[in-house]
């Protein structure tokens, strides 16, 4: 589809169109327009404050409700700082006290146990020990084993997994939740809706009109004028409050989902996945890189375990944990290593719980569309305000000069004869009309429509397996021009199995056939598999199927070990881990040093096949003899790796070496800084892991290509494996494409200069053997080239790239907590197809907002023009205050609900990505709304000025005839909006009814609006100053509205310029500005030049 046929067309001034450096945040900040914030992901506080101050706002509490509360944000930072300071003061005081006790030679007496339930230790004692990091108290309780006994748990097997035990622990020690501040009640939303400046003025005017009416006409007849306005305002307030309250509940539910972290615990010797809220005191929790510490506790065992405590202490220092420093604080992140912890305190008994309970969760966060729509609303509001002032002045002049039409709601003014109360009453009615025009003209609902469509989209995206953490990511995804995707688990199923194995220098078929292998080799292989892993194997006591847990790679290798006859617990008990080097995505390998019962030390390594193989100097043959690796054997093994990789297998090598016990480091400090030998290794095995492509991934990649979004694979796997998968997925279309620069290795890209990286980045389709830093460099290069980049990531080291990208997508299953916290959206099923659904939703958000803008501006233009022309020419307005309030309700709240909740269609993916500086009102939208507005204005003004003759009402009473005519105008105007609501659904498609029946909310709102309009005309005439209409008049109203459908079809045949109208005005503005020299001088004085 051509760019000109879509309201999403991009143009030359668009940020994504390239032009070098447009992706930099500094450029965004330098824009002089306060409403031009391209990305709010890292916008400065000054720019956020600036656009708020520039907006014309009638109800600040409602308009800015879902934006970031800058004042609260500052208060939140102060509270966090206070709690952190308090925690540090307590620890400093304890250390000072402990030092004093040691200098006096006095030993601290063990705390007296306070039995609680069946446990010989109380929650307060545990909380005091962990909060103060009281090491002497820990020793007095008997260390980990002593506390395990008191808490009736086992450091290896955890607590018993039965409901009564868990419930008892929750009753005694509390649950892992904290009291949350209650959300706003419905009445708070009612109060917020009442704060609208124009509605307050209308209520005051209604009260004055009510008082005057009752005084002059008595209570029976005199209350209608003021009472009808008051009732209309109350209805607007209630409908607004209900809509806003429902939105807030949606955000509340989504926020709870964000906090519901899933993690592993050991219960009854089995690893289970549970919610963070279900953790209890006594639980044993395995920790690995990227995990969040879910509760306060103590370290049972760990290897190279390092914790980032910045979330609690405010200091970015990484703290190493061992038996001398075993205390772990809730809310901190595991920066390196792995280990297991014993939970001591949960919920409000932890510092993290206190911190979270004392700060309210702020859902506020502006999105670029919200900011831009505030700019649009401000511009329209200023025009509306000017129109209202003109109407007010004209009507007042006409009234006090005696030039009022006979049909007006107030008697003609005659100097010296008209009473003061009549004159005041007329002035109030005129003023009310002017204020109501402001209500209609200032589109308060426009920026809120973004929030509404985002709230709706976020809820629906949950069903599509995407959890939105940042609102702005929802709409930014519609602008994404490229997706940098991981391979494993995203493009593939993440169901790995060992399908090929090379042992003793030759292929073993099947891979678990050990008949040709010596027992010594099998034992070494099993020892390496069992000890050098972060996974586990559980064998139920009564027999049954073996349960393997861990990452997909670990599970595949452990399962292979089980097939070779590995008894996991037995093997692990035969040796002790001395030191571990956790798998590192930079080095692509992980290792472990184990000490056997005879003091012999084995160092096992496992990792990327070609990297581990390069460190090997020998291998073990079928007899268990160590044989040197000659060049021929090495070449054969390299070819085997290439063959497996070309068959899309992930290749992992397992190797080991021996070491003398006396060369081992002795102290914990020595162990911590010890570099395990990683050369002169003996190759034990090379295995190929099969991870099939997801069945629907090729279609998803094709859909992205059609939508103008380039998919790039960035993986740590072998380049040949990446190439095979890329061909299978459709990222590379043919073997001819599979060469540099389309296919590149991470280290090659890393070695280029910055200019070379910028030049080559656009061409890259696959990057293999990439480190997280390579991914970051690619993201930066693409952004500098003008791309809007979405990046998927699951590891802790992916956090910088996720943060740098325009949209960071973390994996919900394999993703670490660190990756998730750095992301904008979490893909709950780790599926690339879900990423593509997010793109659809992103485009849908933008499309729905544009539909609503087109609909609202049509109503605005028509209502304003009709009332201004009528006021200036006849001194009266056909649409009175109550009628305009009803139109405003259709337009603002009901219109937003109907159009902002349209589900995405496949048509959205036929377009190019939405430019982030693309005009919100495109040429197509201008054409549509001007055609409809001109039609409505023409028909209704003809009815206004010549309606009596056309409707044959000339012989009827003047007032009654005018009431009939004005009622018809009001009815026809409302029906025009109802029919035009259908047109707004499809701004650039002929068939506006496609899929309409699937949107029940849209149909319901249209039905509700028609029903209410019938009730207003037929039964509420006293309030709305209308009369009942005959069926002929109803037919005329419907025909007037119905004509908008064929008119819209004809209008869409009119071609529009590809160049945005805004550019013509911009060029006109530029030509009217002083010469370039003058601008340069101004620039040199510190003014910001136009961008």
- For residues 783 and 762, what is the distance between their CA atoms, to the nearest angstrom? 10
Token code pair at residue 514: 């050990």
Q: 710 pairs with which residues across the strands? A: 482
> Helices 224-259 and 881-889: crossing angle, nearest 10°?
20
Asked if residue 36 lies in contact with residue 372, where contact means CB atoms within 8 angstroms, the answer is yes
- DSSP-assigned letter for residue 108: P
Count how many Cα atoms sit within 13 Å of the Cα of residue 467 in the half-sphere of its side chain.
Answer: 21
β-strands 547-549, 318-320 pairing:
unpaired
pLDDT value of position 629: 93
- For residues 218 and 203, what is the distance between their CA atoms, to the nearest angstrom? 20
Helix spans in 464-516 (H): 471-476
- For residues 548 and 563, what is the distance between their CA atoms, to the nearest angstrom? 12
β-strands 482-485, 710-714 pairing:
parallel
Rounded to a whole number of angstroms, the distance between the first and last alpha carbons of the chain is: 30
Query: Edge-to-edge strands of the sheet including 743-745?
Result: 466-468, 825-827, 807-811, 789-793, 482-485, 710-714, 766-768, 743-745
pLDDT value of position 1066: 61
β-strands 825-827, 789-793 pairing:
unpaired
pLDDT value of position 445: 63
Q: How many residues does the chain have?
A: 1091
Q: Spell out the residues 6+ positions from residue 109 whose beta carbon is closer than 8 angstroms to its own.
A: none
Q: 602 pairs with which residues across the strands? A: 594, 658
Name which of 740, 648, 644 is nearest 693 in CA terms. Answer: 648
pLDDT value of position 832: 92
pLDDT value of position 706: 92
Please pick, among 132, 244, 336, 486, the residue that the annotation labels catalytic. 486
What average pLDDT values come out for the chain (1091 residues) when binned by 10 residues? 38 38 41 60 66 61 59 66 62 57 48 61 89 88 92 92 90 86 80 77 76 72 73 80 78 75 90 92 92 93 87 75 89 89 91 71 64 77 81 83 64 71 78 74 68 80 87 85 91 92 92 90 95 90 83 93 93 90 84 88 94 95 91 94 93 93 76 85 96 91 93 91 92 86 92 93 93 91 92 84 91 86 89 92 88 86 83 74 78 78 86 79 88 92 88 82 89 92 89 88 91 90 86 93 93 84 65 50 39 31
Work out the number of other CB atoms within 10 angstroms of the CB of residue 287. 26
798 is catalytic: no
Asked if residue 564 lies in contact with residue 724, where contact means CB atoms within 8 angstroms, the answer is no
pLDDT value of position 52: 62
pLDDT value of position 1074: 54
3-state secondary structure of 366: coil
Q: 339 pairs with which residues across the strands? A: 287, 302
Torsion of CA 939, 942, 947, 949, to 10 degrees: -130
Q: Spell out the residues 6+ positions from residue 1019 whose beta carbon is closer than 8 angstroms to its own.
A: none
- For residues 930 and 53, what is the distance between their CA atoms, to the nearest angstrom? 31
Asked if residue 907 lies in contact with residue 989, where contact means CB atoms within 8 angstroms, the answer is yes
Chain mean position to CA 659: 51
Q: Spell out the residues 6+ positions from residue 393 whose beta carbon is closer than 8 angstroms to its own.
A: none
Token code pair at residue 572: 């692990």
Phi, psi of 645 (to 5 degrees): -65, -40
Maximum distance among all Cα pairs of the chain, rounded to whole angstroms: 125
CA–CA distance from 479 to each of 213, 472, 682, 707, 841 (Å)? 56, 11, 51, 11, 11
β-strands 743-745, 766-768 pairing:
parallel
């Amino acid at each position: 589809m051509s760019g000109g046929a879509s309201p999403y067309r991009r143009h030359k001034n668009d940020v994504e169109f390239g032009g070098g450096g447009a992706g930099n945040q500094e450029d965004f900040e330098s824009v002089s327009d306060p409403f031009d914030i391209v990305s709010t992901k890292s916008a400065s506080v000054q720019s956020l404050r600036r656009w708020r101050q520039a907006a014309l706002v009638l109800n600040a509490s409602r308009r800015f409700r879902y934006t970031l509360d800058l004042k609260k944000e500052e208060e939140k930072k102060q509270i966090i700082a206070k709690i952190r300071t308090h925690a540090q003061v307590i620890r400093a005081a304890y250390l000072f006290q402990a030092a004093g006790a040691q200098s006096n030679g006095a030993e601290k007496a063990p705390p007296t146990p306070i039995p609680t339930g069946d446990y010989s230790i109380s929650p307060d004692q545990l909380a005091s020990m962990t909060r103060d990091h009281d090491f002497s108290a820990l020793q007095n309780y008997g260390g980990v084993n002593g506390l395990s006994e008191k808490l009736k748990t086992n450091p290896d097997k955890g607590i018993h997994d039965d409901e009564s035990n868990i419930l008892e622990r929750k009753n005694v020690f509390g649950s892992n939740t904290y009291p949350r501040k209650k959300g706003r009640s419905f009445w708070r939303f009612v109060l917020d809706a009442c704060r609208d400046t124009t509605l307050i003025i209308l209520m005051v005017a209604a009260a004055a009109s009510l008082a005057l009416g009752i005084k002059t006409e008595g209570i029976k007849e005199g209350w209608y004028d003021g009472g009808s306005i008051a009732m209309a305002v109350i209805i607007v307030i209630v409908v607004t409050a209900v809509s806003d309250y429902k939105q807030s509940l949606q955000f509340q539910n989504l926020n709870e989902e964000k906090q519901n972290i899933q993690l592993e615990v050991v219960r009854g010797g089995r690893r289970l996945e549970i919610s963070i809220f279900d953790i209890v005191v006594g639980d044993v929790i395995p920790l690995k890189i990227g995990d969040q510490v879910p509760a306060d506790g103590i370290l049972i065992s760990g290897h190279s375990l390092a914790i980032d405590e910045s979330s609690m202490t405010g200091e970015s220092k990484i703290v190493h944990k061992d038996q001398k420093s075993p205390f772990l604080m809730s809310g901190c992140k595991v920066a390196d290593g792995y280990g297991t912890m014993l939970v001591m305190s949960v919920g409000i008994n932890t510092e993290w719980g206190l911190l979270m309970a004392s700060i309210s969760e702020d859902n506020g966060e502006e999105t670029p569309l919200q900011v831009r729509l505030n700019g649009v609303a401000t511009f329209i509001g200023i025009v509306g305000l000017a129109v209202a002032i003109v109407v007010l002045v004209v009507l007042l002049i006409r009234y006090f000069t005696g030039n009022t039409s006979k049909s007006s709601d107030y008697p003609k003014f005659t100097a010296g004869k008209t009473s003061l109360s009549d004159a005041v009453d007329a002035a109030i009615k005129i003023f009310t009309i002017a204020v109501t025009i402001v209500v209609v003209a200032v589109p308060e609902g426009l920026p809120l429509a973004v929030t509404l469509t985002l709230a709706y989209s976020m809820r629906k995206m949950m069903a599509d397996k995407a959890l939105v953490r940042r609102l702005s990511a929802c709409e930014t995804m519609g602008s994404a021009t490229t997706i940098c995707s991981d391979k494993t688990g995203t493009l593939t199923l993440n169901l790995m199995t060992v399908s090929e194995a090379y042992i003793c220098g030759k292929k073993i078929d099947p891979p678990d056939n050990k008949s040709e292998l010596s027992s010594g080799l099998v034992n070494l292989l099993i020892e390496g598999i069992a000890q050098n892993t972060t996974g586990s194997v559980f064998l139920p006591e009564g027999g049954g199927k073996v349960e393997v847990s861990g990452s997909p790679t670990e599970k595949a290798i452990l399962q292979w070990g089980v097939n070779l006859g590995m008894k996991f617990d037995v093997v692990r008990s035969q040796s002790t881990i001395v030191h571990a080097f956790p798998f590192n995505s930079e080095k692509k390998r992980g290792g472990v040093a184990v000490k056997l019962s005879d003091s012999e030390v084995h160092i096992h390594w496992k990792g990327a096949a070609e990297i581990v193989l390069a460190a090997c100097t020998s291998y073990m043959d079928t007899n268990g003899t160590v044989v040197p690796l000659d060049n021929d054997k090495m070449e054969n093994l390299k070819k085997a790796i290439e063959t497996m990789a070309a068959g899309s297998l992930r290749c992992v090598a397992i190797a080991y070496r021996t070491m003398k016990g006396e060369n081992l480091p002795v102290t914990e400090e020595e162990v911590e800084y010890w570099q395990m030998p990683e050369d002169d290794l003996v190759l034990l095995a090379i295995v190929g892991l099969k991870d099939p492509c997801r069945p629907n991934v090729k279609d998803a990649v094709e859909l992205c290509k059609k939508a103008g979004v380039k998919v790039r694979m960035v993986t740590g796997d072998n380049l040949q494996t990446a190439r095979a998968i890329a061909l299978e997925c459709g990222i590379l279309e043919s073997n001819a494409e599979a060469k540099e620069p389309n296919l590149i290795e991470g280290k090659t890209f890393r070695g280029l200069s910055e200019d070379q990286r910028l030049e080559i980045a656009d061409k890259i389709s696959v990057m293999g053997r990439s480190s997280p830093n390579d991914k970051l460099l690619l993201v930066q290069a693409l952004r500098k080239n003008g791309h809007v980049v979405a990046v998927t990531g699951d590891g802790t080291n992916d956090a910088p790239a996720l943060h740098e990208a325009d949209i960071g997508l973390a994996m919900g299953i394999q993703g670490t907590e660190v990756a998730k916290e750095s992301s904008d959206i979490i893909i709950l099923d780790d599926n690339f197809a879900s990423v593509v659904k997010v793109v659809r939703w992103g485009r849908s958000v933008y499309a729905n907002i544009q539909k609503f803008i087109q609909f609202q501006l049509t109503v605005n233009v028509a209502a304003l023009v009709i009332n201004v022309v009528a006021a200036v020419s006849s001194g009266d307005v056909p649409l009175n205050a109550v009628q305009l309030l009803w139109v405003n309700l259709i337009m603002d709240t009901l219109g937003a609900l109907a159009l902002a909740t349209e589900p995405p269609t496949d048509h959205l993916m036929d377009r190019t990505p939405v430019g982030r500086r693309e005009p919100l009102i495109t040429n197509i939208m201008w054409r549509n709304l001007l055609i409809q507005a001109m039609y409505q204005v023409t028909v209704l003004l003809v009815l206004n000025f010549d309606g009596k003759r056309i409707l044959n009402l000339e012989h009827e009473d003047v007032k009654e005839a005018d009431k009939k005519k004005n009622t018809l105008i009001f009815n026809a105007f409302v029906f025009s909006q109802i029919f035009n609501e259908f047109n707004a659904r499809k701004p650039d498609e002929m068939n506006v009814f496609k899929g309409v029946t699937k949107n029940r909310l849209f149909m319901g709102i249209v039905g509700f609006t028609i029903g209410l309009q019938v009730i207003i005309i037929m039964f509420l005439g006293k309030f709305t100053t209308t009369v009942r209409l005959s069926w002929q008049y109803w037919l005329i109203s419907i025909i007037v509205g119905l004509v908008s459908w064929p008119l819209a079809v004809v209008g869409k045949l009119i071609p529009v310029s590809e160049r945005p109208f805004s550019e013509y005005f911009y060029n006109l503005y530029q030509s009217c500005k002083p010469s370039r020299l003058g601008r340069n001088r101004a620039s040199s004085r510190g003014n910001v030049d136009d961008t």
